[in-house]
Structure 1
């Protein structure tokens, strides 16, 4: 009996070794294909330079949909199709104008209207400014101090966070909820410090909350250099206080029909079980949307192309999804989750890549236990470590796949985590252009995600 048990253990160890060796060889093939024959960088160049900005509802967004479908078809995926989704259609209009008014001096400063906000009157708004650091401070000041003024939210990024997305999270409430909150106290407009630690003159746009039942007031982001200047002048001049003028002409038009773009490699054993990888095809209108999120969609398509190119036939179906309308509505992600539930699809995992095309570091797993993470690390860390994509942690996943949590039982949501240090230098700005993407960093991310999807497909969780 003892000899039989010993032989059984030896056989199991031998099988484990063989599987690990096979996995290691396949991952090496994946990296070789992505780094030698990669297509994502040149595809990104076309998306950025030939199509450009892709705000939801725009003609360029539709061009991007049509081109993306043709791209996936050219890769020879088993299925390529569109999912209809109604999306908001917000337009910026003429370039914004803003001045700090200091006595007789008018000092121009760069601003950008926040997404979904409203226009100023045609003549613009001129008013005294009240600087605050938080939404809580609005409550403390109350209507008596705020009514008739422009509220200036000036809480900066907290530089103590190593992962800069956490700094974005702690500062972002003033942009997303600040204008609606200030309107309740009688403010006539809102200016928000750009969400970046970088000191420059590029204002960072981004969505703000629209109160359908309440009053909406014009809101704009101001560059960090201009925010510092405005704050210093407010501190220097109490009587008479410095004033602020701004003018913007944005509009919210009726919703428009748009599409998620989906490509699929059909599973050989479980065609009705799915692993999804995706990013969002829409972008803000200030630039080309290179890192946010052109890199993400091109990486998602490249994952499937690479797996196909190395001759891998997945057990489960693998999808690349280009979601529409992440920036100002999340309608594409919501629609994808609705359709998955409606079609009774079983999803094993969904990976989102929406943190830029920088050097890959690893993956975060949303709403899982410490035991789950320990098991994932035990099984896969050694295989991913040679490629420096082995940081497997508990954390967020992404806005486009988050709706699946409610509609698709059992799905594991995963965020691709590249190095975060430079992302918010270009995020939502005119600087988010193709030239700021590094080819090798992008391709390493392609391969890292393809490797993880291979492991999930082979072994599950």
Structure 2
């Protein structure tokens, strides 16, 4: 009996080692294809330089949809189609103006309207300033201090976080919810310190959310250097002497028709089981949306292209999804999840790449157990370690794939995690351009995602 058990154990070990050896060879092929014949960098160049900004509802967004569909068709994916979705249509309008008023002096400062903000009156707004570093501090001051003022949210990006996304999340609440909170106390406007790890004069936009029943007030972001200057002036001078002026011309039009763009390789064994990999096609309007999220959508299409180029036919259907409207509404992700549920699709996993095209570090798995992480590291870490993409950790999946969990509870949501140190220097600013993307880093990321999709396709996620 013991001999039989020993022989069985040896046989199982041999099968495991053989499988890992096959996986290692296949993953090496993916990396070779990505690094020698990769196309995501040149595709990104076209998206950024020939199309440019792609804010939902804009002409650029529409052009990017048409081009993306043709790109996927040119690769010969089994299915390429559009998924209709209605999206917000917000316009920035003429360039914003802003300055600090110090007695008779006017000191110009870099400022951009926050996405979905209302405009100022035609002549702009001039008012005294109340500086706060959190919504909690705002609440403590109340209407008696806030009414009639411009609230200046100056909570800094916490530099102590090694993973900079945590710093962004902690500071981000003042941009998402600060203007609406200030309006509740009678503020006439809100300006927010840019959510950035850098000290420079490039303001970062991003969405803000208003609250029903509370008057909408104009909201804008100022650069981190301008925020420091304004804060120092408020500290050194008597408050009534310092005022702030800003003017912005944004407007919200009726929702517009747009599309998610989807390419698919149909599974050879399980055509009705799906692995999704995606990013968002839309971008803010200040630049080209290179890292946010041109890199993500181009990497997603590259996964399928690499499969075809290396002759790998997945067992399960694999989709590359270019989601529309992540930046100011998340309508594309919501629509994709709704239709997946309505069509009774079985989804194994979804991977989102929306943290820039920097050097890959690994992947985060949302809502999984400690045993799951232990097992997946035991089985797959060694395969990804030669490529330095082996950090398999607990964490978020992503905004666009998040709604899938609500309609398909069994799905595993996964976030691609590249090095984060430079992302928030660029994010949502005029610096988010093609020139700030490194070709090799982008290709390494595409190969890492391809490797993970392959492992999921071959072995599943039943840890």
> Which bin holds the TM-score, normalised by the shorter protein?
over 0.9
Question: For 1:4 and 1:113, how far apart are their aligned partners in 2?
Answer: 72
- Does the residue aligned with 2:142 lie in a helix, a strand or coil? helix
Equivalent positions of 1:230-379 (< 5 A) are 230-238=230-238, 240-379=240-379
Deviations 1:194-243 (A, max 9, x none): 00120111000000002243210000000001111110111111153300
Question: For 1:108 and 1:240, how far apart are their aligned partners in 2?
Answer: 19
Pair 1:84 & 2:77 matched: no
Q: Which residue of 2 aligns with 1:396?
A: 396
Equivalent positions of 1:38-437 (< 5 A) are 38-238=38-238, 240-437=240-437
Q: Structure 1 residues 441 and 239 mapped into 2: Cα distance closer, same or farther (>3 Å)?
A: closer
Question: For 1:442 and 1:312, how far apart are their aligned partners in 2?
Answer: 21
Q: Which residue of 2 aligns with 1:37?
A: 37
Question: For 1:78 and 1:251, how far apart are their aligned partners in 2?
Answer: 41
Question: For 1:226 and 1:72, how far apart are their aligned partners in 2?
Answer: 44
Question: For 1:268 and 1:240, how far apart are their aligned partners in 2?
Answer: 72
- How far apart are 1:307 and its partner, in Å? 1.1
Question: For 2:399 and 2:121, how far apart are their aligned partners in 1?
Answer: 34
- How far apart are 1:374 and its partner, in Å? 0.4
Deviations 1:358-403 (A, max 9, x none): 0000000000111110011011000000000000000011000000
Q: Structure 1 residues 25 and 211 mapped into 2: Cα distance closer, same or farther (>3 Å)?
A: same
Question: For 1:64 and 1:197, how far apart are their aligned partners in 2?
Answer: 30
Q: Kindly indicate whether the alpha-carbon contact (under 8 Å) linking 2:323 and 2:400 is maintained by their aligned counterparts in 1.
A: yes
Question: For 2:37 and 2:11, how far apart are their aligned partners in 1?
Answer: 38
Question: For 2:383 and 2:347, how far apart are their aligned partners in 1?
Answer: 24
TM-score (norm. length: structure 2) = 0.99
Question: For 1:407 and 1:385, how far apart are their aligned partners in 2?
Answer: 34
- Does the residue aligned with 1:119 lie in a helix, a strand or coil? coil
Q: Structure 1 residues 86 and 400 mapped into 2: Cα distance closer, same or farther (>3 Å)?
A: same
- Does the residue aligned with 1:396 lie in a helix, a strand or coil? coil
Decide which moves more: 62-71 or 232-241: 232-241
Deviations 1:19-44 (A, max 9, x none): 01100000000000000000000000
Question: For 2:181 and 2:288, how far apart are their aligned partners in 1?
Answer: 31
Deviations 1:61-87 (A, max 9, x none): 000000000000011100000000000
Question: For 2:458 and 2:115, how far apart are their aligned partners in 1?
Answer: 42
Q: Kindly indicate whether the alpha-carbon contact (under 8 Å) linking 2:132 and 2:151 is maintained by their aligned counterparts in 1.
A: yes
Question: For 2:110 and 2:5, how far apart are their aligned partners in 1?
Answer: 74
Question: For 1:197 and 1:417, how far apart are their aligned partners in 2?
Answer: 18
Question: For 1:341 and 1:151, how far apart are their aligned partners in 2?
Answer: 43
Question: For 2:323 and 2:444, how far apart are their aligned partners in 1?
Answer: 22
Question: For 2:7 and 2:393, how far apart are their aligned partners in 1?
Answer: 36
Number of aligned residues: 461
TM-score (norm. length: structure 1) = 0.99
- How far apart are 1:5 and its partner, in Å? 2.3
- How far apart are 1:323 and its partner, in Å? 0.1
- Does the residue aligned with 1:403 lie in a helix, a strand or coil? helix
Question: For 1:79 and 1:165, how far apart are their aligned partners in 2?
Answer: 35
Q: Which residue of 1 aligns with 2:12?
A: 12
Question: For 1:60 and 1:160, how far apart are their aligned partners in 2?
Answer: 38
Q: Structure 1 residues 239 and 55 mapped into 2: Cα distance closer, same or farther (>3 Å)?
A: closer
Deviations 1:179-205 (A, max 9, x none): 000000000000000001201110000
Question: For 2:199 and 2:6, how far apart are their aligned partners in 1?
Answer: 65
Question: For 1:2 and 1:168, how far apart are their aligned partners in 2?
Answer: 57
- How far apart are 1:17 and its partner, in Å? 1.1
Q: Kindly indicate whether the alpha-carbon contact (under 8 Å) linking 2:128 and 2:239 is maintained by their aligned counterparts in 1.
A: no
- Any unmatched runs of 5+ in structure 2? none
